[in-house]
Amino acid sequence: MKEFFAWLAAFVIVVVVMGGLAWLVQGNNFFLAQYFWPKMEAVRRDTVIESQAYSEATTRRLYDLRRQYTQAKSDDERAAIKGMALHEVNAFDHRRLPAELQLFVSQLQR
């Protein structure tokens, strides 16, 4: 009977130690993720914004918005298109745009 309780105690200790180690590893992962994930997301976002595909898509979208803006018939339409265009270039470096789009954006910002 004494041997049974010794084995039971050893089993309980092993389970508690394993549970403690698992909790420690999970907690450590949580705190590491809490620190590193925002930084990794910022790098991912910057990489996307600096990519050629993003630049071309933004330029194409701004050309479309400029065309729509010049063809708009009412001030409400122009205001809506102006908001979309300014939102589109908000995170984008204006110097990477062609000259005519830089002029369009600067006119909208005034």
Domain carrying residue 89: 52-109
In-domain check, residue 35: no
In-domain check, residue 60: yes
Q: Is the pLDDT assigned to residue 76 strictly greater than 90?
A: yes
Q: How far is CA 81 from CA 54, 68, 74, 77, in A?
A: 20, 7, 11, 6
pLDDT-derived band at 95, boundaries 50, 70, 90: confident
**What pLDDT sits at residue 77?**
93
In-domain check, residue 93: yes
Rounded CA separation 7/63 (Å):
76
Question: How many domains in the chain?
Answer: 1
In-domain check, residue 67: yes
**What digits encode the pLDDT tens for the residues 33-65?**
888 889 999 999 889 888 899 999 999 999 999
Rounded CA separation 42/104 (Å):
29
In-domain check, residue 8: no
Whole-prediction pTM: 0.63
